[in-house]
Structure 1
Amino acid sequence: MESGRRTYQEVTRWLDYQRFYPTWLRSDVDDAPAEEWWRWRGLDVHLDRLAAPDAPVKLLLLHGAGGYGRMLAPYARMLAHLAPVEVLAPDLPGYGLTRGDRPVAYPEWIDCVADLVAAEQARDGRPVFLLGASMGGMLAYSVAATVDVAGLVVTCLLDPRDVTARMRMTRLPAIGRVTPSLLGPARPLDAWRVPMRWIANMGAMSNDPALTALVATDPSGGGNRVALRFLRTFLTSAPPVEPEAFTACPVLMTHPADDRWTPVALSRAFFDRIAADKRLVLLERAGHLPVEEPGLTQLGQAVSDFVS
C-alpha cells in the first residue's frame, strides 16, 4: 500500500451501519468488498469491488452528499446476491478515503464517474449500469447523458435549479432560496471547508433517529467538511441534457415512499419529463436512506429485474 493511503480495515466507522440491515446484508472487516485504488487526475480514488468475472454486466453505486462507497456495502451485497452483476462503489473525491489537497468542483464528480465507466468498459468490455443514491441520482443522470451506459437507476432526481428542490435539500429553506445569489460572489472563498451538516438537511437522512445521527457524525460521509467550491458548483449546476431530450438509456427510479428529505413529488418534477423508457417503483415505508421493509426488498427486486 502506498504511503498516505488508508483502508477500511483501519477506518472502521462503516461497521456501525451494519446493525441497521438484515444479517445477510452485513459485512465485517474479514468479509467485505475488495478494496482497490484508481489513479485519476492526481487523486487516488478508492473503490470497493464485489467481483463477479462471469457476470454479464457491472453496476456502479454512486453515493450522495452524506455517503461514501463503503457505506453502501449492504446494497452492493444485496444486488450482487440477487442479480448476475459485478458491483463497484467508489468514494467520490472529497469523501470516504478519496482525499486531496485542492477543493473539488461538482463537475469533477461527473468527469470522475464518466472516466471510471470508460475505464471499466475498456477493462473487459462489459456493459455498465449506474445506480445513484440521493444526490448521486442527478450525478448518475448527468453521467448517463455524456457516456454510454446500459441503464440508469436513481433513488431520487433533484434539479438544483428548482428553488423548491433547493429549499428541501438545504438545512434551512431560506438557505436554499438564496444560495445561488450568495455563492456566486463567494468564489474567492472556494477553498473554505464547511461541515456538510451546516448546509444539507442531514436531520432527514433517514427515518431512524439513530441511523440519522450516525450519518451526520461520520467524518467520511455526512460529518464531512466540504469545500465551498463544491457546494457552489453543485447548487448552480444544470444537467448536460434536459430531460425532454434524454433518450440515452432506460431509467428506473426506485424512490422511497416515506422520504422526509426529498418527497417523491420533487423527483417526479424532473423524472416525468424524461423522454427515455422509464419506470417508477415506490419503496413502501422506506425513508431517504432505505433500510425499512418492505421497501428494502422492493429495491433489490426492482434493480435486479432491471439489470437482468
Structure 2
Amino acid sequence: MGVAKPNEISGEGPMVVAQDTYQHVTHWRAYQRFYPAQLRVTAANAPTEQWWRWRGTDVHLDRLAAPDAPAKLILLHGAGGYGRMLAPYARLLTRTTPMEVVAPDLIGYGLSRTGKRPVGYQEWIDCVADLVVAEKARDGRPVFLLGASMGGMLAYSVAALGNVAGLIVTCLLDPRDVAVRMRMTRLPIMGRTALPMLHHLRWLGRLHIPMRWVANMGAMSNDSALTALVASDPAGGGNRVSLTFLRTFLSSAPPVEPEQFTACPVLMAHPAADRWTPPELSLPFFGRITARTQLVLLDEAGHLPIEEPGLSQMRQAIDGFVSQLLPR
C-alpha cells in the first residue's frame, strides 16, 4: 500500500508512529457520513496510531487512549473491516463509559500486511490472545473484548483462553454449521462445497482471491451505498485473502465448546435486522454457553449497525455490561 514501516526502536510492544499512516488508506473517511455527527472521525479526533511487533509482523493498532479509565476494550473487526473503519463505534462506546479502546488491523487487513505469505486463521487467534496479554502487562487494567461479525467467534476463542474480564459480540457464527456457512457465503451452494474444495486445493494455499468472491458482502449493510463502499474498500471488504485463510477459518473449531465456556460473562448485542447473519444463526451456539449470558437485540440495525435506535441500544447495553463487571 505504499506505507512506510515503523522504525525498529523496540522488538516488542507497541510503538507510536506518525499520524499520517492512513494517507494511502482513505476509504475510512467516506464511511463517516453514514454515522451521526457526534460519532464521526476526522484527522483532528482520530485515534492514535501504533505499530505492535508480533512474531515478525508489524500489526497496526488504533488506540483511543484514556489512561485514567478503569478498563480497556479491544475491538475486533470481521471479514470486511479493519481498525479505523470501526472508529465511530469506539467513539460511541466511550461517550458514557470511561474505557480505553484498542482496535487492531487483523493480519492481512488494513495496514497489517505480510506480503504474499498466506495467513492462517489460528494466527488471528494467537495474535489477539497475545495482544490481550500485552495490554494487561502495560498497566494491569481489565480487558474486555468486542468482536463484530466474524470477529465475534474470534473474540470468543480468545476469551476462552482466559485473561478477559468480559466478552461482547454482535454475533457468534460457528463455521462448522452448514446453515451458517450457507448464509455467510455469497451463494448458498458455496456453503456446502467450499470446504471440501479448499481441502482438495491445499496446494494452492498461497493464492489470494477477493473476499467478496466468497463472502456475502451484498448484505453487509441495509444501506446500499454503505454496502458498495465496504465492498470497494481494498483495506476491508475489497481485500484479497489466501485460500489458506479461507480453509483454516471454515474448518476451525473454538478451543472450548460453549458448554465448557466459563471464562467470563458474555453479552451478545445482535442487530435485529441483520440480513447477512440473522440472530437465529447465532442463538444456537449462544444458548449453549455455560457462563452468564445476556442478549440484546438492536432494533432496526443491519449487520454493520448504523441505525437508531440500534446504535443507542448497543451503547446502553455495553455500558451496563462493563459497569457491572468493573471493581467497585
Alignment TM-score > 0.5, same fold: yes
| TM-score w.r.t. length of structure 1 | 0.98
- The match for 2:63 is 49
* CA distance in structure 2 between the aligned counterparts of 1:293 and 1:27, rounded to whole angstroms: 19
- The match for 2:248 is 233
Total equivalences in the alignment:
307
* CA distance in structure 1 between the aligned counterparts of 2:160 and 2:67, rounded to whole angstroms: 27
- The alignment's C-alpha RMSD in Å is 1.0
Once the two structures are superposed, the pairs formed by residues 64-79 of structure 1 within 5 Å of their partners are 64-79=78-93
* CA distance in structure 2 between the aligned counterparts of 1:97 and 1:3, rounded to whole angstroms: 10
* CA distance in structure 2 between the aligned counterparts of 1:135 and 1:19, rounded to whole angstroms: 24
What fraction of aligned residue pairs are identical, expressed as a percent?
72
Describe the superposition over 1:181-202 as per-residue Cα deviations: whole angstroms up to 9, x where unpaired: 1111111101000000000000
Secondary structure of the residue that 1:191 maps to in structure 2?
Answer: coil
C-alpha deviation, 1:163, in angstroms: 0.1
- Contact 1:9–1:29 (CA under 8 A) maintained in structure 2: no
Secondary structure of the residue that 1:81 maps to in structure 2?
Answer: coil
Letter in 2 for 1:75: Y
C-alpha deviation, 1:179, in angstroms: 1.8
Letter in 2 for 1:149: V
Matched, 1:58 2:72: yes
- Contact 1:8–1:29 (CA under 8 A) maintained in structure 2: no
* CA distance in structure 2 between the aligned counterparts of 1:27 and 1:44, rounded to whole angstroms: 24
Matched, 1:38 2:52: yes
- The match for 1:196 is 211
Matched, 1:261 2:268: no
- Contact 1:38–1:44 (CA under 8 A) maintained in structure 2: yes
C-alpha deviation, 1:7, in angstroms: 1.2
Aligned match for 1:288, one of 282, 303, 312: 303
Letter in 1 for 2:161: T
Once the two structures are superposed, the pairs formed by residues 139-158 of structure 1 within 5 Å of their partners are 139-158=154-173
* CA distance in structure 2 between the aligned counterparts of 1:123 and 1:22, rounded to whole angstroms: 33
C-alpha deviation, 1:10, in angstroms: 3.8
* CA distance in structure 1 between the aligned counterparts of 2:45 and 2:99, rounded to whole angstroms: 18
Secondary structure of the residue that 2:22 maps to in structure 1?
Answer: coil
- The match for 2:22 is 8
C-alpha deviation, 1:52, in angstroms: 0.5
C-alpha deviation, 1:304, in angstroms: 1.2
- The match for 2:101 is 87
Describe the superposition over 1:253-279 as per-residue Cα deviations: whole angstroms up to 9, x where unpaired: 000000000010100010000000000
C-alpha deviation, 1:3, in angstroms: 3.6
C-alpha deviation, 1:30, in angstroms: 2.1
- The match for 1:119 is 134
- The match for 2:326 is none
- Contact 1:160–1:237 (CA under 8 A) maintained in structure 2: yes
- The match for 2:38 is 24
* CA distance in structure 2 between the aligned counterparts of 1:125 and 1:186, rounded to whole angstroms: 45
- The match for 1:176 is 191
| TM-score w.r.t. length of structure 2 | 0.92
Secondary structure of the residue that 2:268 maps to in structure 1?
Answer: strand
Matched, 1:105 2:105: no
- The match for 1:250 is 265
Secondary structure of the residue that 2:21 maps to in structure 1?
Answer: coil
Superposition misfits of 4+ residues, deviation over 4 angstroms: none
C-alpha deviation, 1:249, in angstroms: 0.1
Letter in 1 for 2:301: A
Describe the superposition over 1:182-231 as per-residue Cα deviations: whole angstroms up to 9, x where unpaired: 11111110100000000000000000000000000100000000011100
